Structure 1
Amino acid sequence: MILEAVMLQVREGLEEEYEEAFRQASGIISSMRGYLSHELQRCLEVKGKYLLLVKWDTLEDHTIGFRGSAEYQEWKLLLHRFYDPFPTVEHFSKVEL
């Protein structure tokens, strides 16, 4: 399992519109091969700041499968206009303790 983590900064004043667009976009990502789950967290200290966590079976399910799909183009149209600056996506694997 791979965890995709993205810190998102939404343009000021567009938070409610963004959250509604994200609700729509959730159906897109959740239909993808290798998708396990996702959640969007709103920061309590910084207005417009969000944390997106997505669990994938493999890194390639996200980087090749999702990002290379027609569905990703729809995701981009719904969400990418809200971000400033554009976010950096990072991937993590669990450390067994």
Structure 2
Amino acid sequence: MILEVAPLSVRAGQESAFEAAFLQAQKIISTMPGYLGHELQRCIERPGEYILLVRWQTLEDHEIGFRKSPQYQEWKAHLHHFYEPFPVVSHYAPVSGAAG
């Protein structure tokens, strides 16, 4: 399993619109091959900051299967105009024996 971590900075005053758009966009990502689940969390101290965590079977499922798909263009149309600056996405793999 690969964990995609995307810290999202949403333009001030656009938080409610972003959350509504995300509710629609999550329907897109959840249908992709290799998708295992996701969660979106909002920062308590800084309400315009979010973190998106997406679990994928493989890195390729995200980087190739999703990002190079027509569905990704829909995802972008729903969400990318809310970000300032554009997020830097990272991928993480489990450390053997470190889960609790």
Establish whether TM, by shorter chain, passes 0.5: yes
Q: TM-score range, shorter-chain basis? A: over 0.9
Q: Deviations over 1:57-94 (max 9, x none)?
A: 00000000000000000000000000000000000000
Partner of 1:9: 9
Residue 93 of structure 2 corresponds to: 93
**CA RMSD for the aligned pairs?**
0.4
In 2, distance between residues paired with 1:76 and 1:51?
Answer: 17
4+ runs of 1 displaced by more than 6 Å? none
Seq. identity, %: 61
TM norm structure 1: 0.99
- How far apart are the structure 1 equivalents of 2:15 and 2:46? 12
Q: Distance in 2 between matches of 1:89 and 1:32?
A: 18
Instruction: Say which SS state the counterpart of residue 12 (structure 1) adopts.
Output: coil
Cross-structure match for 1:78? 78
* Counterpart position of 2:43: 43
Deviation by residue 1:12-66 (Cα, 9 ceiling, x = unmatched): 0000000000000000000000000000000001120000000000000000000
Cα distance between partner residues in 1 of 2:31 and 2:17 = 22
TM-score between the two structures when normalised by the length of structure 2: 0.96
Unaligned runs of 5+ in 2: none
Number of residue pairs matched by the alignment? 97
Which one-letter code corresponds to 1:67 in the other structure?
A: R
Partners of 1:96 and 1:60 lie apart in 2 by 21
Q: Which residue of 1 aligns with 2:19?
A: 19
Shift of 1:96: 1.3
Q: Does 1:59 align with 2:71?
A: no
- In the aligned structure 1, how far is the partner of 2:35 from the partner of 2:15? 25
